[in-house]
Chain A
Amino acid sequence: KQEVTQIPAALSVPEGENLVLNCSFTDSAIYNLQWFRQDPGKGLTSLLLIQSSQREQTSGRLNASLDKSSGRSTLYIAASQPGDSATYLCAVLRVSWGKFQFGAGTQVVVTP
């Protein structure tokens, strides 16, 4: 069974610091990995999609890397802002299952 783990569960940083969020998964046979942002009481907003053949994907201040062999993805957010405060979730699309499987998320607070 695929396990998707996000550590730490919560993180607090001062404004301007870079954020590093981790996602690990036990089954390396995946089609892709997707990072989402969730604001309190809201739905999930897609941030980045990394295909299995890619090693990284970038959008503005966000950069996500994927290392299938070690079962890890890292989301980097440069120069964090209070508006980056949210919960960040990763999800993997497994070859054997064909559906998205989620980690429990990392709750981020960026203090002014």
Chain B
Amino acid sequence: NAGVTQTPKFQVLKTGQSMTLQCAQDMNHNSMYWYRQDPGMGLRLIYYSASEGTTDKGEVPNGYNVSRLNKREFSLRLESAAPSQTSVYFCASSESGLNTEAFFGQGTRLTVV
């Protein structure tokens, strides 16, 4: 039971570099999410995808882009990394509908220097 799988687990980038964080789920969920977690601030939603082919901005979308490649995969791209994007990034998925439970990946710890 893999659940939600994120790659890579750790990454160090230089300011201005780009990278893509990968996420895949094997639970046949419609909804997928990208969150970032910073000390004392909880998890904040970056982008959301309600279904394959649709994406929506969350609370903190600036500096990020996403792609819902298919039902399983939802990637997050940093086009030009900035030190303010140093964070731990979590991907999650859930069924759509009213009484839905969220499942999380193990996170990607990103440092931008």
Contact = CB atoms under 8 A, between A and B. Distances in A.
Interface of A: 4, 9, 31-32, 34, 36, 41-46, 49, 51-52, 89, 91, 93, 98-105
Contacts of B35: 102
A10 to B, nearest CB: 11
A104 B41 contact: yes
Given A43-B90, A89-B43, A100 B102 contact: yes
Contacts of B106: 42-43
Interface stretch (B13-21, B66-74, B79-87, B93-101): B93-101
B90 A44 contact: yes
A41 B91 CA distance: 15
Contacts, number: 60
B42 A34 contact: no
B45 A34 contact: no
Interface of B: 4, 33, 35, 40-45, 48, 50, 58, 90, 92, 94, 98-107, 109
Contacts of A51: 98-99
Q: Is the interface of A mostly helix, strand, loop or mixed?
A: strand
Given A32-B98, A43-B90, A51-B99, A103 B42 contact: yes
Contacts of B50: 98
Contact of B40 (A32, A34, A93, A104): A104
A89 B107 CA distance: 16
B45 A32 contact: no
B105 to A, nearest CB: 6
A100 B33 contact: yes
A108 B40 CA distance: 14
Given A51-B99, A99-B58, A102-B42, A43 B104 contact: yes
A42 B37 CA distance: 12
A31 B99 contact: yes
